[in-house]
Amino acid sequence: MKVWAFTSKYFKKVYSVEVVKEASIDGQNNAKLNNVENVEFINAKVEDFLKEFTQKNEKVDLLVIDPPRDGMHPTALPSIISFNAKTIIYVSCNPSTLARDLDYIVRNSEYAIADVIPVDMFPHTHHIETIVKLIKK
């Protein structure tokens, strides 16, 4: 399930950023089928979207990031910090890139790790998802 599907009822506006065009199209179709009207689907690299969005000085409450196994693109990390969300939820399928990205975020910002939840979505394999909540100090 995509994050926008369960967050849209709690926020005025939700942005879903996907680099894969088909994922954005699927999201638009699913939103229409479920009468969800407050989600904007953006087909772009997250680092490009974040840079452009932060230049507009808009305020956000929550940033949910769920990067691929390689983790966040290095150019996206400074933009994530400057996004200035009250809370960041980082969902990761790779503990080593999660650790690398969290190290950067914590060392270079006022964010602190509040919760870490491992989720075994793939029983009988070595794969594990990790959900980390970061909050502004």
Q: Which residues are catalytic?
A: 93
For residue 112, the surrounding DSSP H or E stretch is strand 111-119
Q: How many Å is the maximal CA-CA distance in the chain?
A: 46
Q: How far apart are CA 99 and CA 77, in angstroms?
A: 13
Could you tell me if 52 and 19 are in contact, meaning their C-beta atoms sit under 8 angstroms apart? no
Q: How far apart are CA 122 and CA 68, in angstroms?
A: 16
